Structure 1
Amino acid sequence: MKQLTALFICGLLCHESMAQDTTVQLRDVVVTGQYQQQSVKNSVYKVRTISSERIQLRGATDVLGVLNNELGIRFSNDATLGETDVELMGMSGQSVKVLLDGVPLVDRGSTKQSLSQIDVNTIERIEIVEGPMSVIYGTDALAGVINIITKKRTEHLTVTARAQEETVGREYRPLDGKGLHSEHLGLQWGNGKWFAGGGFTRTDFGGWQGQFTGRKKEWHPKNQYLANGIIGYGGHQWEAWYRLDYLDESIKSLGDINTGNYRSTDQYYNTNRYTHQLQGSWKPTERLSFNGALSYQDYTRKTKTNIKDFRTNTETRSQDDGAQDLSKFNMLFFRGTVQYKLSDAVMLQPGIEIKRDGSSGQRIEGSPVINDYAVFVSSELKPVSWLNIRPGLRFIHNSVYSAPPVIPSINTKWAFNKDMDLRVSYARGFRAPALRELYFYFFDASHSIKGNPALKAEYSHSVNGSFTWQALRRGELRYTVALSGFYNDFDNLIDIGYSAADPTISTYINVNKFRTTGGMLEHTLSWKALEAGVGLVWVGRYNRFSDDTAYNKTTATPAFVWTPEVNANISYRFRRLGATLNVFYKYTGERPTYELAAINNVEVVHLAKTAAFHYADVTASKRITPYLTLNAGVKNLFDVDRLKNTAADAGQAHSTGGPVLMWYGRSYFLGLNFRWAKK
């Protein structure tokens, strides 16, 4: 109780959401994959948007805390490295493209560290497009795209600030140490054709002891410093802007003391990320426009391992193989497109994309560089007012891997009337081998892993369909129902296998076929001060042993194993009080999988399961002055920390099976929001 009392005393400042009319407008606008900004309803793609208002109402301190309630999105944690990966519609993180203002972000490998390394306070909205977007966005857009759109132009001076205090399970100490502590300061300015802005955020996560004792923690302490700045200039026909994002992140993994020699092994992971962007647009006529994006990213991750002697209180560097490492990744990226409106019925978009990826480090063989060149073209055909057809082709040349020469796609949208839409699409997707998969080299006492430079690209056939019907529209009452389905068939799936030259060495190989399928049903309701949404998704993942007769099987092995998900979002505004109450809920069903296990020295296929769980956040906000708003709430209401798991391996490089660590239990947060604008 003392901890909670201290928590509710120490909320400071946090920027308030934008005016409600602006937020409603932003919620309906998308740019991902579009020729120009347009509403979600008019988009040929099925797009989900998450507004900045909803991000703030959730009390999120990173993007993961925003997405964990979304249907079809699931996270997995690597407690050893302090990282979290994302899965979209049954496909893992390497198949999910993460964009910042349309520019792909660098990650070390399959894990999408970038999702937790973006300043959530600078986000205007998040757009999620399910299904392959390989024609427009290239490799890794196999499962879909998560595009994070940042705040840019403003017409006046705005100062924002935020501080939020949060418990980590039952652990908390005010302002520093145990718990989660986040502070932000931001500035935006606009004057005619000029605009600029900047911000700084500190997030201090004290870790979580969990079931461990002594110095070791189940969730490692993590400290982040994020800074950003933007400057731009432009008028009615053209605009250009430059943005810099910087990250300094440190994760500390302390070991327990060996009672035999009074020593411990401590590891430190330090990450620095610079993301430069220069983007511009020019519209000389109503029919013609140009867009360009140039980006350079520099990402380094340093692993330091020390041996601490508690008898002498000294530390020395570990001399074990792989104990010290400096991994460097950089990417130079350019995309240019032209949009030309031939007539009211035909629009054409040709484009070019160039990407150069480089890497080096003790766990990378040499200093490899991959050059990727692509030319793509798509068109938007509207032969009649109610039909929109968008075919596209992407031509690829890569300096290292064997890429599919042509990637096609076709998206269609039928508007039966103003309240009823049908979207159907087919796309050929592909995923390029990551640098880590091609050139990784890591040998120590417990690892023998080598990359495979002969890997081929993964590719897929994907079919998606969705039907949207606004069933009610009477006064302030709006009710919409949407039904969608998907099917993905993959070839050349990259997986871990044994080297043909030496079976004691693990390597990456193209062997597995994989499929995913499923359907989603969503309901949304808006009535006066109430907004609510309820959704259901059923995701099926291919069982690779279904047609395999090489192993004994303890149970029947169907072609697909299925996992259901249900979510609900409810928000009610008490307008006279200037307050809002929100409930965010998600049920993730049991996840079955078939795996090989040794039973009585015989390899057999058996069914393993990861338990189902319920997750919910309850939050509230209250305006206390024209400039200040108070936020408070409970996260992980059902107190989930680990899930029962019967698999021999939890599916991660550093897992050993057993319970799967998901969260650190129920937590409470409090913050104050500050926003001042000069009119």
Structure 2
Amino acid sequence: MAQDNEGSSTPSSDTTHLAGTHSLSEVVITGQSEPQSLRNSVYQVRTIDSERIRLRGATNLQTILNTELGIRFSNDLTLGTSDIQLMGMSGQGVKILLDGIPMVDRGSTRESLGQIDINTIERIEIVEGPMSVMYGTDALAGVINIITKKGHSGKSLTVNARIQEETAGDEYNALTKKGTHNQGVGVTWQNEHLQFSGNVTRNNFGGWQGASTGREKDWMPKDQMLYTAGTRFTGKRWNVWYRFNGTDETIKDLGNRNPNTGIASDQDYITKRWFHQLQSEIKASERLNFTAVGSYTDYSRRTLSTNVDINDHRTLSLEPGSQDKSIFKTAFFRGTAFYKAGDQLSVLAGVDFSNNNASGARINGTPTINEYALFVAPEIRFGQFFKLTPGLRFLKNSVYDAPPVIPSLNGKLTLSKSLDFRFGYARGFRSPALRELYFDFHDASHSINGNVNLKAEYSNSFNSFLVWQAVSREGLRFSSTLGGFYNVFHDLIDTGIDPDDRTQTTYLNIHLFKTTGLSLENKLFWKNLQATIGATYIGRYNEFSESPENFGSLPEFVWSTEVNANLLYTFKKAGASINLFYKFSGKRPVYETTDLVNIHLAETESFHMADLTASKTLGKYVSLLGGIKNLFDVTNLRNTSTDTGGAHSTGGPVPMSFGRSYFLGLSFQWTKH
């Protein structure tokens, strides 16, 4: 379903860890007509449970996801933001959900991933491939659904707290300034029918000097406050809950002093996000369920430019455009009905509505986009061995002509007791966002104008997975998943030179794009050991290959390899564990031309990322976690691109991290039943 409707039965982190050894029985909800086990799902869903999240020692979602197969991050050090890529597609095609509700972002990057309180997350579900029928626009590459903790059943009072200190490379100063500092506290009270909860977390990053000198830093300092508050009421056949998520974030861009005047120019990027969620579920009968979801997001990003004189006296900058604020507001509603006609047929139907508007000095006017959708996805069973889920989504958009219907077809064939085959086709769809239509963005390294004449992107996508449960018995489980995918994207929106003004950059529907690849993932659960090892081989379309008469014969796809391994070993008697998270990301090749005559193969170098952590319980309520992140000391990647101009130039070193870091944290949890 679109929302996390597990009610009060969501397991605690302790029970989730136990359930992790029986991963095929783990319940998933993303894209499902009703909560189902991984094995019964027609979609191939990857899950990251709360125990793995805890053992990463993460203070943000990027740390958790950066060793997952098919996922890469890129960092914009000018704006202090990161973007995600999934199976070769950039973040603008990846749908980010919080409990099934879309997150709002200002630009094409997925800043929202870094603005979710890691201490409130129960698990993460990742679905690869277009989910446009179920979740609408932006879901071309797939969906990442972050599912928050909902508590237990019964009457209890729980208090939890966390403090963690971490270096930034070799830079550190206790509790403030240099390094990364995380403090969080949360309280949950509940009885059989009512629950109240609240969390406050502070993340402070002092930045990283790197190769910069003076006041400047390679990675900008960031101070972030995250607030959550929620309540839930559970009846006999229905439940309703409200949750508030607040973000107050400041990223500081510190400038060096002018040698003549002694004045330094600073910029603060101030983000405020107020995200309200209201969700409910009614079980009308044993066969019929209704859900309703509503949300309202008020998201703003403000640029505050100041000048600092030699005596550290600060004044506002009077330069044009130096003071700016952009505001994005989104209202969202989703209603679904699920009817189980019998063991062989069930139907999920629903309606979506979203209202998006923006304002600010960089916004052309005060635009509003309304989108309406009706979707239906029956699930048909043929005996015990075959399950088929066709889907249709009907669209209406207030700004442009959306495609009248988006289809999909997913199926699961049980070949034997230990072998399952999944397959899927989907028509992907992404409407132009407000930022691409109306947002003019100009600063020292970006210059992009919105384009109101954009067409929607669409894709045809195919995938299949063969899942083999080689061994499944008490104390020993081994499974292997072989997957393949092929995606063809049309009218892909990207930045390019404005044909009406060669001095300007804008958004254009400029090219066809394809991705294809193979993946292999193996999982082993043996006594106290959990191990995962996998690999992907992903090809991204070479857009120059369509004109060999101009550029010569070039391969249609350029390829990149990834390999990952996660090892978790538990010393049960000692209440301790040791854990290794590793990923190799191969070279990222791309053909490019800067003069439309000569062709050049550019490559971003390969790199290894790994984290090593160890945990130990200290008594009944306290646990200690420490370790090393970025074992291979990765900072910037060599890049042979010669494109050093334009809005999103690819030339120069590619920033990945700020080097090897060390961390130590304490967690406290006390529960009274």
Tell me the TM-score range normalised by the shorter chain.
over 0.9
1:645 alignment partner in structure 2:
639
CA positional deviation for 1:446: 6.9
1:8 alignment partner in structure 2:
none
Written as runs of structure 1 = structure 2, the 5 A alignment for 1:474-553 is 474-549=473-548, 551-552=550-551
CA positional deviation for 1:402: 2.9
Q: 1:118 aligns with which of 110, 116, 119?
A: 116
**Is the aligned partner of 1:624 residue 2:579?**
no
Q: 1:39 aligns with which of 15, 37, 40?
A: 37
Return the TM-score normalized by structure 1. Answer: 0.94
2:393 counterpart letter in structure 1: R
- Change in CA separation of 1:49 and 1:515 when aligned onto 2, cut-off 3 Å: same
1:6 alignment partner in structure 2:
none
CA positional deviation for 1:657: 1.8
1:349 counterpart letter in structure 2: L
1:423 counterpart letter in structure 2: R
**Is the aligned partner of 1:21 residue 2:18?**
yes
2:629 alignment partner in structure 1:
635
1:605 counterpart letter in structure 2: I
1:305 alignment partner in structure 2:
305
1:610 alignment partner in structure 2:
604
Asked if the contact 2:586/2:607 (under 8 Å) is kept, the reply is yes
Q: Distance in 2 between matches of 1:18 and 1:187?
A: 19
Asked if the contact 2:505/2:647 (under 8 Å) is kept, the reply is no
Written as runs of structure 1 = structure 2, the 5 A alignment for 1:415-434 is 415-434=414-433
| SS state at 1:34 partner | coil
CA positional deviation for 1:653: 4.2
Q: Distance in 1 between matches of 2:233 and 2:399?
A: 39
1:597 alignment partner in structure 2:
594
Q: Distance in 1 between matches of 2:381 and 2:586?
A: 42
**Is the aligned partner of 1:392 residue 2:386?**
no
CA positional deviation for 1:234: 1.1
| SS state at 1:331 partner | strand
- Residues 272-281 or 234-243, more deviating: 234-243
Q: 1:105 aligns with which of 95, 103, 106?
A: 103
1:78 counterpart letter in structure 2: D
Asked if the contact 1:74/1:87 (under 8 Å) is kept, the reply is yes
1:57 counterpart letter in structure 2: L
Q: Distance in 1 between matches of 2:125 and 2:343?
A: 27
CA positional deviation for 1:37: 1.3
- Change in CA separation of 1:595 and 1:527 when aligned onto 2, cut-off 3 Å: same
Return the TM-score normalized by structure 2. Answer: 0.95
Deviation track 1:473-509 (CA, whole Å, cap 9, x = no partner) reads: 2431111110000000010111222323222222211
2:314 alignment partner in structure 1:
315
1:139 counterpart letter in structure 2: T
1:12 alignment partner in structure 2:
none
Deviation track 1:142-192 (CA, whole Å, cap 9, x = no partner) reads: 000000000113242111110000000000011111000001101112201
2:605 counterpart letter in structure 1: A
CA positional deviation for 1:319: 3.0
Written as runs of structure 1 = structure 2, the 5 A alignment for 1:9-408 is 20-21=17-18, 28-154=26-152, 155-310=155-310, 313-408=312-407
CA positional deviation for 1:444: 6.6
Q: Distance in 1 between matches of 2:234 and 2:489?
A: 44
- Change in CA separation of 1:576 and 1:99 when aligned onto 2, cut-off 3 Å: same
Q: Distance in 2 between matches of 1:321 and 1:503?
A: 23
| Unmatched 5+ stretches in structure 1 | 1-14
Asked if the contact 1:341/1:347 (under 8 Å) is kept, the reply is yes
2:7 alignment partner in structure 1:
none
Asked if the contact 1:620/1:633 (under 8 Å) is kept, the reply is yes
- Change in CA separation of 1:240 and 1:432 when aligned onto 2, cut-off 3 Å: same
1:7 alignment partner in structure 2:
none
Deviation track 1:177-230 (CA, whole Å, cap 9, x = no partner) reads: 100000110111220111221100001100000011100000000001001011
1:573 counterpart letter in structure 2: T
- Change in CA separation of 1:623 and 1:653 when aligned onto 2, cut-off 3 Å: farther
1:11 alignment partner in structure 2:
none
1:241 counterpart letter in structure 2: W
Q: Distance in 1 between matches of 2:121 and 2:648?
A: 32
Asked if the contact 1:85/1:112 (under 8 Å) is kept, the reply is yes
CA positional deviation for 1:337: 0.4
2:212 counterpart letter in structure 1: F
| SS state at 2:371 partner | strand
Asked if the contact 2:594/2:643 (under 8 Å) is kept, the reply is no
Deviation track 1:27-70 (CA, whole Å, cap 9, x = no partner) reads: 81111011221111111100000011110101000111110010
| SS state at 1:359 partner | strand
Asked if the contact 1:17/1:56 (under 8 Å) is kept, the reply is no
Q: Distance in 1 between matches of 2:633 and 2:481?
A: 31
Q: Distance in 1 between matches of 2:428 and 2:247?
A: 31
- Residues 188-197 or 199-208, more deviating: 188-197
Asked if the contact 1:16/1:629 (under 8 Å) is kept, the reply is no
Asked if the contact 1:321/1:444 (under 8 Å) is kept, the reply is no
Asked if the contact 2:33/2:347 (under 8 Å) is kept, the reply is no
Q: Distance in 2 between matches of 1:179 and 1:21?
A: 34
Aligned-pair RMSD on alpha carbons?
1.8
Asked if the contact 2:544/2:551 (under 8 Å) is kept, the reply is no
Q: Distance in 2 between matches of 1:459 and 1:422?
A: 27
Q: Distance in 2 between matches of 1:571 and 1:613?
A: 23
Q: Distance in 1 between matches of 2:442 and 2:197?
A: 46
Q: 2:563 aligns with which of 563, 566, 575?
A: 566
- Change in CA separation of 1:578 and 1:547 when aligned onto 2, cut-off 3 Å: same
Q: Distance in 2 between matches of 1:261 and 1:503?
A: 36
Asked if the contact 1:650/1:656 (under 8 Å) is kept, the reply is yes
